[in-house]
């Protein structure tokens, strides 16, 4: 891939917020959308005299991501300080892991649009703290909200293995899914839970040195990343073709114009004066601990898809839909575990449940539906207790937390399959419709349709059509 005579090199640094209960270095809660500075304490404010205490859970979440991305977990973690001044960074240093990343030498196998698989190497992963947020009010003041400050992040740094904007897009999508299935984050883009720093350079084919990198930071949409890279690829090629030179710049993606805008030209590297964080003790990670975390790691999307397709007979496309989110995949697994037919359960989740979520704009975990109730309903359908038509009412009910069997009974939604009751009706209908018997004997199929219609009317629609049909045919043949 590339543009004209140039080949493109892209590196991505992705930050994902990890949804631990408390922050990386303080007991304040990690929670999005609260009033500014509600989730803060003296530590988050960088008060004089405060000290950090590292959140073990955040370190374990970092280990999960490292393991999911096939990385080596570092046996020894020392925290480092990255020093810089900014109002959203109250201590004026970020606690990170520059010398001893939680994971190194990982990779992600990315399936590209043409079906080929590309291995993108991951250089390293760091557990570090997120910054707060600055906003600029129309009143002329700037405001600092430190709710997000100290939220644990996992930073995932790729090697420059990505060769096109499309590959970058595929990598980000599949990286998001990989992280999602570690259970450490919902990686909601709109809430800024996953952001990408992108760098891109181009060079003539055959050149053995990379071109000068241009950086774009904190893009929280994969589409924007793709658009920004497409623009940059072209812009850089045009500059080089015109005999110009690419400067080391930080640029910003502008969505309305789908272009990138120069923010600043970098002169040499920033000096963050990294040094070991003296307020935190180093952490030793032994194999036992790694094994424990590995055992707690949820199965990946890929593993689940293979299982659904190969063992449960699910169509590959449906398996894809079921593994869009960890919540959906877990829900499906739990529904199967509760005894539901795999295909019917899959159809409900992909069809009715998804439609419900879209209509009400809710996440699966925010509905009242439980795997047990969905499995219960599927079983009622499978054993003929309710018809698929009746199931529509039951479905509405289980979405509001009702128990399916109890609901079906209470609302007379149980199919009549009792041969004694059905036979009595059949006898009555046949006795009253001798002409239909004649028609049947004369080979008119329509006749059974008419009789079934009469019988359904008598049963107020509750007769089990399959059973009814069988019994009716048997009786007709007897006459």
Partner 1 sequence: MTFNYFEHDLASLHEQLVNKEITATELTEATLDNIAATDEQLQAFISTNPDEALAQAKLIDEKGNFDNVLTGIPVGLKDNLATKGIQTTGASHILEGFKPIYNATVVEKLFNNGAVSVGKTNMDEFAMGGSTETSYYKKTTNAWDHSKVPGGSSGGSASAVAGGQVPFALGSDTGGSIRQPAAFNGIVGMKPTYGRVSRWGLFAMASSLDQIGPFTRTVQDNAAVLSAIAGFDAHDSTASQREVPDFSKKLTGDVKGLKIAVPKEYFGEGIDPKVAQQVKAAIAQLEALGATVDEVSLPHTKYGVAAYYIIMSSEASSNLQRYDGVRYGFRADDVKNLEDLYVKTRSEGFGDEVKRRIMLGTFSLSAGAYDAFFKKAAKIRTLLIEDFNKVFEKYDVIVGPTAPTVAYGLGEEVDDPTAMYLADVLTIPVNLAGLPGLSVNAGFVDGLPVGLQIIGKPFDEQTVYQTGYAYEQASHLFDQQPDIATKY
Query: Which parts of this chain interact with partner 1 (CB under 8 A)?
Result: 42, 45-54, 81, 83, 85, 87, 90-93, 144, 269, 271, 273-275, 278-281
- Of 220 and 248, the one with the shorter C-beta distance to partner 1 is 248
| Nearest CB to partner 1, comparing residues 81 and 148 | 81
Contact (Cβ atoms closer than 8 angstroms) between residue 280 and residue 26: no
CA distance 245 to 267: 15
Q: Report the residue number, 49 or 256, with the smaller CB distance to partner 1.
A: 49
Tell me how far, at minimum, the Cβ of 49 lies from partner 1, in Å: 4
Judged by beta carbon, residue 47 or residue 76, the one nearer partner 1 is 47
CB of 286 to partner 1, least distance (A): 19
Cβ-based nearer residue to partner 1, 21 or 281: 281
Q: What is the DSSP letter of 131?
A: P
Beta carbon nearer to partner 1, 93 or 440:
93
The H or E element containing residue 449 is: helix 446-458
Alpha helices in 313-384 (DSSP H): 316-322, 326-337, 342-348, 354-360, 371-382
Taking the complex as a whole, the smallest distance from the CB of residue 268 to partner 1 amounts, in Å, to: 9
Residues 6 or more apart whose Cβ sits within 8 Å of residue 70: 106, 107, 108, 122
Q: At what angle do helices 446-458 and 419-432 cross, to 10 degrees?
A: 120
Shortest distance (Å) from residue 131 CB to partner 1: 13
- Write down the least CB distance from residue 203 to partner 1, Å: 27
Which structure tokens are listed for 79? 């925290």
**DSSP H helical ranges for 54-146:** 56-68
* Pairing outcome for strands 214-219 and 249-254: parallel
Residues making up the chain, counted from first to last: 479
User: What kind and span of H or E run contains 158?
Assistant: strand 152-158
Query: Taking the complex as a whole, how short is the minimal distance between the CB of residue 391 and partner 1, in angstroms?
Result: 55
CB of 276 to partner 1, least distance (A): 8
CA distance 123 to 103: 8
Q: Which of 43/394 has CB closer to partner 1?
A: 43
Phi, psi of 196 (to 5 degrees): -120, 135
Name every residue whose Cβ is closer than 8 Å to that of residue 462 and which is 6 or more positions away in sequence.
Answer: 412, 413, 414, 415, 416
Query: CB of 393: closest distance to partner 1 in angstroms?
Result: 55
Both tokens assigned to 123: 């250089």
Q: Note whether 288 and 317 are within 8 A (CB).
A: no
C-beta of 281 vs 296, nearer to partner 1: 281
Closest distance between partner 1 and the C-beta of residue 175, in Å? 30
Measured in whole angstroms, how far is the alpha carbon of residue 226 from the centre of its chain? 19
- Integer CA distances (angstroms), 415 to 376, 391, 405, in order: 15, 11, 12
Q: Looking at beta carbons only, is 210 or 275 nearer to partner 1?
A: 275
């Amino acid at each position: 891939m590339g543009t004209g005579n140039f080949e493109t090199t892209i590196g991505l640094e992705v930050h994902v917020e990890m949804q631990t209960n408390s922050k990386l270095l303080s007991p304040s809660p990690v929670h999005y959308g609260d009033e500014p500075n509600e989730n803060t304490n003296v530590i988050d404010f960088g008060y004089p005299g405060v000290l950090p205490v590292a959140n073990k859970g955040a370190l374990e979440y970092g280990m999960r991501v490292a393991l999911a991305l096939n990385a080596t977990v570092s046996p020894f973690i020392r925290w480092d300080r990255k020093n810089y001044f900014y109002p959203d960074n109250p201590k004026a240093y970020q606690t990170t892991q520059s010398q001893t990343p939680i994971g190194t030498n990982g990779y992600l196998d990315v399936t590209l649009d043409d079906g080929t698989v590309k291995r993108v190497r991951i250089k390293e992963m760091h557990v570090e703290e997120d910054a707060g947020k600055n906003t600029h009010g129309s009143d002329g003041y700037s405001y600092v909200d430190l709710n997000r400050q100290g939220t644990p992040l996992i930073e995932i740094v790729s090697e420059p293995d990505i060769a096109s904007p499309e590959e970058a897009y595929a990598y980000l999508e599949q990286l998001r899914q990989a992280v999602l299935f570690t259970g450490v984050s919902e990686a909601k883009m709109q809430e800024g839970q996953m952001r990408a720093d992108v760098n891109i350079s181009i060079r003539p084919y055959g050149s053995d040195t990379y071109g000068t990198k241009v950086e774009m930071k904190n893009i929280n949409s994969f589409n924007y990343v793709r658009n920004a890279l497409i623009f940059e690829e072209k812009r850089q090629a045009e500059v080089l073709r015109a005999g110009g030179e690419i400067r080391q710049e930080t640029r910003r993606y502008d969505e309305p114009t789908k272009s990138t805008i120069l923010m600043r030209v970098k002169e040499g590297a920033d000096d963050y004066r990294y040094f070991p964080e003296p307020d935190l003790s180093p952490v030793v990670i032994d194999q036992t601990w790694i094994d424990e975390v590995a055992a707690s790691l949820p199965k990946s999307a890929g593993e689940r898809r293979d299982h659904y397709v190969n063992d449960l007979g699910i169509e590959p496309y449906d398996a894809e839909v079921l593994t869009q989110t960890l919540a959906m995949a877990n829900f499906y697994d739990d529904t199967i575990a509760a005894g539901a037919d795999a295909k019917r359960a899959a159809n409900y989740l992909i069809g009715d449940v998804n439609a419900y979520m879209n209509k009400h704009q809710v996440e699966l975990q925010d509905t009242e539906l439980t795997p047990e109730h969905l499995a219960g309903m599927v079983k009622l359908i499978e054993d003929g207790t309710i018809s698929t038509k009746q199931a529509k009412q039951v479905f509405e009910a289980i979405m509001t937390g009702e128990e399916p069997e109890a609901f079906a009974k209470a609302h007379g939604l149980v199919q009549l399959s009792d041969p004694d009751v059905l036979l009595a009706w059949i006898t009555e209908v046949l006795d009253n419709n001798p002409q239909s018997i004649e028609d049947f004997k004369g080979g008119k199929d329509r006749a059974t349709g008419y009789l079934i219609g009469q019988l359904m009317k008598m049963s107020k629609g509750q007769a089990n059509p399959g059973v009814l049909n069988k019994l009716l045919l048997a009786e007709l043949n007897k006459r």
